[in-house]
Structure 1
């Protein structure tokens, strides 16, 4: 007899619901197999035919780190389009490329770690390029669109599974794994959670990634907000993936837990389901989980919960239904449609900041194109490798003709003379095939700076003339005549080997350090290793470690092997011999041009990137000099900023100014078409551009309300306001009508193209509470729409805004409340360019006194504060308040209802010794906090506080390193 085939296990049956199939597969896994699934690289289970699975494929603006791919504008550039439908199409294109690349390379993952939803609260944040906007509504609109594109529109199966980054309140690279963001309840609900919530509720999100930082003293990887908020927003299983190395940080850098078993258990219980740690080696995480199970810190049910969430995502991706997966053969790579979409996105991202009529450029304009970014198409840390490339210069040559365009990069041309009188020299490279280039000729970033097949620099009597580029704060790159940058590989030798600066630790940056107060000599310090350059018989290299060449604390140590370690070379002292100043070349090019285009900005790997915040809004000094040289030679100077973040400059001295984020493969073409008027600019600023560093809060001040931050609260005069962007075409706004019906405010108005060309306008709707009882935004975006209108066309627009959008988080009741009263309705072209206005009166819930006798006061629920910081009440949940830096904190709790009066106040205190002063209704008390053994060892201290009946404000002053968690009263 022929044996019957084994029955198909239920987890392989596509007729069953995913939940039943997940439960069946989970029941078949051994404990060790389930534990192994908790690492980013989950191994295969061959006995069940279950393949290996990897969480995490970077896809922020194209498929990253996996070789050639379509490169779209940076995320902040996509935010500048204010166009969710365009961004949805970008997400769809990226997901199709993920699928196409996965079909030929199993290393490409379908669980994509994108988009970044962190709000662009502070413009000096090094990762500004990764976010969409400083506004939660705009951010969530763009993020929702991108995730919908990534997910696909099939009702069952997902093309890719997006994970949002980085949960929560994360806007600093300085000390990012040890600093704590102090976020009070109103800021938490009205600002930081809000951007994530709308995107999760839209249903196209597979999960989130916690950020490295702490919030209110507690690491995000053990945050109760994952359970209390995130998982309540959807019925779908959400997969929480840790950031790289963050699980180990809980012990190693944050010292939040004593052992890795405790830390891993706490993170798993809090809601982390996949641990990204120790690269591809899952054994340390598995050992920690097993140790936690043995110690009773975890149950197998805790492990099952996390594995179930991961399996849920894998089923949705069609892994177990290859014959039914509609996306299995839907991949598309570098198609004409994707190329066109990259160009369209880059064009829509261009923001015209100022224009006195010099733009658009006439066809016969004689142009001078100058600046460090004029002939560059820069990538960032999360870019794919370029298949196509366009620079502003190349595109302007093509659009206006090479004979009408004169170019000057504006770099200083220098030679470096040694103390022996010779010069640094780049020897000729061998003609062997370039190993850094793949089959399609695209560069593999991982091989650039690390190449050791090229000869190191030497010295000779003539030397090589280098392009010295100063990126600010003395950070330099040196480029050889063949276009390659000087870099240092792991063997310590200096070579002209890098196509562009890049890498996790950038190996292409240097600093010239003057020797002696009035000397002409300089050390050339390599910033990747922190060591100065030396000259030896076998070539130019970084010097061996000495007392003078200790590693910089802010950079990772690069291994130094043969040729440097143990040698006795001393640092070389160089004389910088300038062959040409960049400003001279700029003046010559600008003098006889009709218009000068100064293309300035940043390299996304230098002075402002992941691991490094910026220090100033100003342009680097060298670029300021180039801009001034151009303007002095020719008043018809246009600044074209290509940057990952805002800058401060003097727009009034320029004929025009534009900004675009690094625009990917079509950046140059898009800029040229906008400058020439082929496309009318309609990008809008997704964040406030401040006029001066003095306008900025401290980088670690996360209280956007108290610190009056972002356009919502900033009371100064910005350089350019949120939502700003000009056009070549005038638009008219008219006929505003408002109505409240069906739980929404309906706003109607007409928009007219009053020009003679088709163009886009971004109509924006804001509100302002006229007489709020608590601090409210001076402007708050309610809705927006990017509209294309033909010449003379008029369109009637309608926005329907749910009335809940007018609510604020009422700390007295711990919930949202719509305050009754008058609200301004503001329609216009930016947050400050208001064209139409009306006032509506909304019904709502009046304020009620705080019932302090019934439930007391959570210390964190203050209305206003000065000098306070929020910290963790316990390691698992809750907040307490302490004076920042152990000084003094002032807390105000408004409208406390003491009913018929109280006699005693009870304080829950922990931490160091100090005093608490309280006053309400004329009564005062001073309470001495005795201090407790640890920050979580709370004690209750009572003191007399005879407050008469009625409603009174309560003021509390904290002095010393104590923690106040709760205030209670008794009669």
Structure 2
């Protein structure tokens, strides 16, 4: 007799709703099994046939870290396209490749940690390359397009599950795990939350990743905004994945909690569902969760909530329905279509910043190509491995012919002589190794101990000449004649063995430190930056000393040829010079390292000056992850593109040749000087007048700027206001003589606002193609809510009635059409401070203060930024007819001073005895006479926290 087939468990039934299936699976899991799911690497549950699962697969501009894949332009380059349709198609290609790679390598994850929607508030941020724009609406438009591409269009099953990074207000690498971003309510709602919100509400987001930093004194991994904001925007079960190591930071570096059990419980209850910590070892996290359960800090229901969200993503990815998953058989990898798309994206990302008519180049132009990046196709930390590549030099060879293009890299060629009078040189080939040994079998001490399994790393007779590249602020790389970089291996020896600088800790960078005592007068110590130790010469080769006390070698730097000389030589004989400058994404501005200046590295400035001096027809092509400041006037043309992936060189050459008209637009302001920038840690974009929204100076190039080889005329602006939307129409005509893309940009500004509002603010945009003489009629439906601001007095959005300018044109400063529309709305009313206590954080203006956490769970308080003195202003406070007293809720120690308007203080409340801790608030009261409506000024004196202010009569 045949045993009956066991019934299919409900969680395996594809006909049931996901919610019921998740309920069933949860009921079958033991508590230990559920706890194990909370780590990034969730183990399999073999008794139920549930596979192992890993959250996290980097896919910012292609599948990263998992080997060869199609590499698209960096995220900031995708932002520069201003093309949502293109970016959606890039997302589709990336997700298809993730599926195809997953089919042959189960390490490839489908829960992708991208895109990054942090706003490019400050151009010195080391991770500028990862974001899309400084503007929240442009950022959310591009991010929404990318996530829709990653998700796929199937109504039930997702191709990949995108997780947005990094929640919240994260724009500094300097002290990123211990610094706090002070974000007042208006900036929070109008700026930082806005980019996330629109993308989440669009319905293609599986979750978010909290950032390393703190916001208002509270780590993002215990942020109340996860519950109060994020999860209120959608009915989907969003999966919150911690950043790597951040759960441990809550105790180890931030000291926010006393124990890891307490920290883990707080993060889980705040909304973190998957803990990325300790690599593949889940035992520490699961041990902390179990400890928290035993201590009563967590309940099993807390664990169930987090596991449910993770399972929701796994079901949507089709894991439990392999026969129904429409994406299971996806095999589209490195297809011709993907290669074409990579080229299209690279072309659309090119921004023409200046052109005096030298571009496009004629077919018979003799071109001198110079610069550190002229023959490079650089990758970044979140790139895949290139299958195809093109450099600017290769692209120009292909487009104009090698006979018309001459190249000089423009780097210094140097030799390094030891105190013994011999030059350092690359090692011999393996078969010649015996000849390099002396009578006792020791290696020549001047040899660099490289890999003996490689062919000779030299093309000259001595092997002693190196290309020295200064990447800025004295950070150097040294390259052997065959192109390999000097690197330091784990055994401490220098080897000419690296194809490119890279890695989490770069091992290919050095610094020369002058030593005046060297007998030749040009002595230097060579410090290896990866280990922070000097280079020494030993009997068995050149190595990094274990400490700086081990007699580092004093080396004489012998310059064989200056880079400027080679540049000047070929520039003088050319019709035009193309200087390709920029950055290496692994050096001088990257994850873990912010930049310190907008200026180009000194060596690149010298190359540029040498080219201009030799040939006035000089074109600067910047290939970089972020903006620079320089003098554009003497240049014939300037272009910028982010590192453009595998097709970067071909794309740049096609733009230079006029095969395609450039139509990229700047996604962030390019400032003229470092003095235009606020402090990197000042997150108050309103008070510090940051980004194009508030900047009052003259930028080098404004937000939205980008030129074309065609010209465009704008006409016929019409605005119709309905009950909920404004309908804005106009036409654009290509008045040039070639087909080209235009990016029409729609802005607004409040004409007579009652509070500080943006100088202008992007409402919408559209990129489109027009043939010569063709006209496009454009219409934008803008919700009236887009004109609103966050009213701190009401703690809500408010559309202020009055006139608003409607501005249409080619950039934030290139306004072609202008109109004014009068909108209705809710008029301002005084703050009812008698009826409702005044939250300290809801100020209108401030100086010398910062926001801190009211409690570890929620709320904000205000404290002097330097612990000394700060000022707060609350506009139009209604004290009624008989206010006679004031109460303040404070912690710490110090004095609160209150005054009306600009007058002298009329009340002082002093906390003489310090409270036991920062969250031990006390209430102080004092007489305070006021009537009618006045501006209230509050002075904070001393290291205290102000939570609330109340008034009575």
The RMSD of aligned alpha carbons is 1.6
Residue 136 of structure 1 deviates from its aligned partner by 0.1
What is the rounded CA distance, in whole Å, between the counterparts of 2:516 and 2:573 in structure 1?
42
Map 1:704-783 → 2, pairs under 5 A: 704-783=685-764
What is the rounded CA distance, in whole Å, between the counterparts of 1:723 and 1:632 in structure 2?
31
List per-residue Cα deviations over 1:386-427 (Å, max 9, x = no partner).
000000001101100111101000000011000000111101
Residue 583 of structure 1 deviates from its aligned partner by 0.2
What SS does structure 2 have at the residue aligned with 1:844? coil
CA contact 1:745–1:802 (8 Å) conserved in 2: yes
What is the rounded CA distance, in whole Å, between the counterparts of 1:148 and 1:411 in structure 2?
44
What is the rounded CA distance, in whole Å, between the counterparts of 2:819 and 2:708 in structure 1?
25
- Consecutive unaligned residues in structure 2, runs of 5 or more: 433-448
Quick check: 1:887 aligned with 2:868? yes
List per-residue Cα deviations over 1:627-682 (Å, max 9, x = no partner).
00000000000000000000001010100000000000000000000000000000
Equivalent position of 1:697 in the other structure: 678
How many residues align structurally?
Answer: 931
What SS does structure 2 have at the residue aligned with 1:651? coil
Residue 331 of structure 1 deviates from its aligned partner by 3.1
Map 1:277-676 → 2, pairs under 5 A: 277-430=277-430, 462-516=462-516, 519-546=521-548, 548=549, 569-676=550-657
What is the rounded CA distance, in whole Å, between the counterparts of 1:431 and 1:802 in structure 2?
74
Equivalent position of 1:946 in the other structure: 929
Instruction: Note closer, same or farther for the CA distance 1:429–1:786 as it changes in structure 2 (3 Å cut).
Output: farther
What is the rounded CA distance, in whole Å, between the counterparts of 2:208 and 2:546 in structure 1?
44
Residue 172 of structure 1 deviates from its aligned partner by 0.2
Q: Which moved more, 1:594-603 or 1:750-759?
A: 750-759
What SS does structure 2 have at the residue aligned with 1:368? strand
Quick check: 1:820 aligned with 2:820? no
What SS does structure 2 have at the residue aligned with 1:762? strand
Quick check: 1:915 aligned with 2:895? yes
What is the rounded CA distance, in whole Å, between the counterparts of 1:429 and 1:525 in structure 2?
27
Normalised TM-score (structure 1): 0.95
Equivalent position of 2:173 in the other structure: 173
- Consecutive unaligned residues in structure 1, runs of 5 or more: 433-448, 549-568
What is the rounded CA distance, in whole Å, between the counterparts of 2:462 and 2:199 in structure 1?
61
CA contact 2:517–2:523 (8 Å) conserved in 1: no
Equivalent position of 1:56 in the other structure: 56
Equivalent position of 2:442 in the other structure: none
CA contact 1:763–1:784 (8 Å) conserved in 2: yes
Runs of 4+ in 1 over 4 A off after TM superposition: 429-432, 449-458, 460-463
List per-residue Cα deviations over 1:63-103 (Å, max 9, x = no partner).
00000000000000000000000000000000000000000
Residue 516 of structure 1 deviates from its aligned partner by 2.6
Equivalent position of 2:909 in the other structure: 927
List per-residue Cα deviations over 1:790-811 (Å, max 9, x = no partner).
1110111101100000000000
CA contact 1:455–1:495 (8 Å) conserved in 2: no
Equivalent position of 1:566 in the other structure: none
Residue 901 of structure 1 deviates from its aligned partner by 2.2
What is the rounded CA distance, in whole Å, between the counterparts of 1:902 and 1:452 in structure 2?
86
Instruction: Note closer, same or farther for the CA distance 1:866–1:452 as it changes in structure 2 (3 Å cut).
Output: farther
Residue 429 of structure 1 deviates from its aligned partner by 4.5
Instruction: Note closer, same or farther for the CA distance 1:456–1:615 as it changes in structure 2 (3 Å cut).
Output: farther
Equivalent position of 1:803 in the other structure: 784
Equivalent position of 2:39 in the other structure: 39
Residue 964 of structure 1 deviates from its aligned partner by 0.2
Residue 920 of structure 1 deviates from its aligned partner by 2.4
CA contact 2:221–2:267 (8 Å) conserved in 1: yes
List per-residue Cα deviations over 1:212-266 (Å, max 9, x = no partner).
0000000000000000000000000000000000000000000000000000000
List per-residue Cα deviations over 1:10-54 (Å, max 9, x = no partner).
000000000000010001000000000000000000000000000
What is the rounded CA distance, in whole Å, between the counterparts of 2:165 and 2:184 in structure 1?
21
Equivalent position of 2:124 in the other structure: 124
Residue 452 of structure 1 deviates from its aligned partner by 8.6
What is the rounded CA distance, in whole Å, between the counterparts of 2:237 and 2:614 in structure 1?
62
Residue 106 of structure 1 deviates from its aligned partner by 0.2
What SS does structure 2 have at the residue aligned with 1:652? coil
What SS does structure 2 have at the residue aligned with 1:838? strand
List per-residue Cα deviations over 1:339-371 (Å, max 9, x = no partner).
000000000000000000000000000000000
What is the rounded CA distance, in whole Å, between the counterparts of 1:131 and 1:517 in structure 2?
48
What is the rounded CA distance, in whole Å, between the counterparts of 1:457 and 1:494 in structure 2?
13
CA contact 2:428–2:457 (8 Å) conserved in 1: no
What is the rounded CA distance, in whole Å, between the counterparts of 2:605 and 2:559 in structure 1?
19
CA contact 2:457–2:480 (8 Å) conserved in 1: no
Quick check: 1:95 aligned with 2:95? yes
Equivalent position of 2:946 in the other structure: 964
Equivalent position of 1:563 in the other structure: none
Residue 457 of structure 1 deviates from its aligned partner by 10
What is the rounded CA distance, in whole Å, between the counterparts of 2:413 and 2:144 in structure 1?
47
Residue 742 of structure 1 deviates from its aligned partner by 4.0
What is the rounded CA distance, in whole Å, between the counterparts of 1:254 and 1:454 in structure 2?
46
What is the rounded CA distance, in whole Å, between the counterparts of 1:345 and 1:509 in structure 2?
32
Q: Which moved more, 1:323-332 or 1:51-60?
A: 323-332
What is the rounded CA distance, in whole Å, between the counterparts of 1:121 and 1:245 in structure 2?
25
What SS does structure 2 have at the residue aligned with 1:747? strand
Instruction: Note closer, same or farther for the CA distance 1:969–1:63 as it changes in structure 2 (3 Å cut).
Output: same
List per-residue Cα deviations over 1:704-749 (Å, max 9, x = no partner).
0000000000000000000000000000001111110241111111
Normalised TM-score (structure 2): 0.96
What SS does structure 1 have at the residue aligned with 2:728? strand
What is the rounded CA distance, in whole Å, between the counterparts of 2:504 and 2:833 in structure 1?
52
Residue 815 of structure 1 deviates from its aligned partner by 0.1
CA contact 1:596–1:630 (8 Å) conserved in 2: yes
Instruction: Note closer, same or farther for the CA distance 1:575–1:774 as it changes in structure 2 (3 Å cut).
Output: same
Instruction: Note closer, same or farther for the CA distance 1:98–1:450 as it changes in structure 2 (3 Å cut).
Output: farther
What is the rounded CA distance, in whole Å, between the counterparts of 2:712 and 2:498 in structure 1?
47
List per-residue Cα deviations over 1:104-152 (Å, max 9, x = no partner).
0000000000000000000000000000000000000000000000000
Instruction: Note closer, same or farther for the CA distance 1:461–1:577 as it changes in structure 2 (3 Å cut).
Output: farther
Equivalent position of 1:878 in the other structure: 859
Instruction: Note closer, same or farther for the CA distance 1:838–1:429 as it changes in structure 2 (3 Å cut).
Output: farther
Residue in structure 2 matching 1:858, options 836, 839, 846: 839
What is the rounded CA distance, in whole Å, between the counterparts of 1:331 and 1:960 in structure 2?
64
